[in-house]
Amino acid sequence: MYNIDFNKPCHVYFMGIGGISMSGLAEILLGEGFTISGSDMKESEITDSLKALGVKVNIGQVASNITDDIDLVVYTAAIKEDNEEFQAVIAKKLPILTRAQLLGQIMNNYKYGIAVSGTHGKTTTTAMMSHVLLQANTDPTITIGGILDAIGGNIRVGHSEYFVTEACEYTNSFHSFNPYISIILNVDEDHLDFFSGIDEIAESFKTFAQILPTDGLLVINGDMEHTAYITGELNCNIVTFGLNEGNKYQAKDITFDEEGHPSYTLVVDGKEVDTIYLHSTGIHNVINSLSVVAVSDFLEIDMEHIKAGLLECTSAKRRYEFKGVSKNGVTIIDDYAHHPTEIAATLEATKNTPHEKLWLIFQPHTYTRTYALLDKFAEVLAVADNVILADIYAAREKDTGIISSKDLCEKINSIGGNAIHIGDFLSIEKFVEKSCKKNDLLITMGAGNVDIIGDSLLKK
């Protein structure tokens, strides 16, 4: 495998540079003196931002983009072997790295590489960890899978030995990482277009945990079914967190203010230590915050910095994000949830947000996920007063006809829910304008582009 050398910056070409993770890595290398260029299939705010930094971005992926001055090519999992640009790279016999391999090599340049993993909650927890590190003036390098206001985007290039990033299990990409500290928030059934089931997913997280050095730290949810399996053969430091007795870091006496923000008593090794206040909503974020406290404690960060960072963190964009109130008095929130467990957590959080009726506009994400988890999706979505289903967001997949939003709609209604399939965004927008009343709560939900419905409603 090709190894980058920070002492000898070269020309690196990113295939798919407009992706939120790829663009972040490109900016890190740019800050280290590397020459950066790349390509993407369409223009975006991210590609515009990169161009403003002096990065050459090709729109469209054709063979002529691969010039002789390129030393290394980095590509994403979305790039297939029949891609014309990729074929040109192979023909020229250029060194190549996957996005995950590059990120793993970048981590080797930092003493305290922190990898935040889990089926759910990675972006929010990375945001929390980032806020604490910033509060403690550690000057961290940060790469996050969302837009974080505190750093003005998805990347911050610091000049210290602290590095924090998300670590995704899809295609086992986090096996290429080299962290000193790892967080495992949860292990759930997802990405079933790659994994055969929950057992293989748990095995993947176990392999990820085994990467840690003997003096490193694994911070893991002690309330999970798979915790003992993952930690059974590890020789690094291990601490657990959760709501149950027996965890080193535990939250007790959880309460919510009038806006749904939680606070709790922090218990460490069975002793009450302090009171933690959060600006993020939901019990799930109480649990997420415990992992950040554990890492911060290991790094000997002062408790006042921990508390201030957690309170300051309003999460990343699209994580129970308050968008505004429409002209007819409807509160609009946007959320990235696209898995039944995430949806359930978000809907639980709405109980602490004052409202009359709860309206949920849901855009399912990928056909394989919708098909594999159809019954679970129906069960959690049926909780909302009214569910409006947009067509499935295909992402990396093609429609083979195995599933549609109409099927999900029928399943929800068959178990007593109240769902309607409308499909296109313009029709959904017109429907909710007529249907939602003052003091109702409207949530746009999904990992696709469903958030633009809320943005459009607020402009009227």
The pLDDT tens digits of the residues spanning 351-377 come to 878 899 999 999 999 999 999 999 999
Instruction: Check residue 62 and give its pLDDT.
Output: 96
Q: Kindly tell me if the per-residue pLDDT of 316 is higher than 80.
A: no
* Percent above pLDDT 90 for the chain: 83
Q: Are 256 and 220 in contact (CB under 8 A)?
A: no
Q: Are 452 and 445 in contact (CB under 8 A)?
A: no
Q: Kindly tell me if the per-residue pLDDT of 315 is higher than 70.
A: no
Question: Taking residues 415-419, what's their average pLDDT?
Answer: 97
Instruction: Check residue 193 and give its pLDDT.
Output: 86
* Percent above pLDDT 70 for the chain: 100
Phi, psi torsion values for 59, nearest 5 degrees: -95, 115
| The overall pTM is greater than 0.85 | no
Q: How far apart are CA 44 and CA 164, in angstroms?
A: 25
List, by residue number, the catalytic residues: 122-123, 166
Q: Kindly tell me if the per-residue pLDDT of 68 is higher than 70.
A: yes
- Would you state the structure tokens that stand for residue 52, as one six-digit string? 């403003």
Instruction: Check residue 449 and give its pLDDT.
Output: 93
Which residues lie closer than 8 Å to 273 by C-beta, 6 or more apart? 266, 267, 303
Instruction: Check residue 210 and give its pLDDT.
Output: 98
Instruction: Check residue 277 and give its pLDDT.
Output: 97
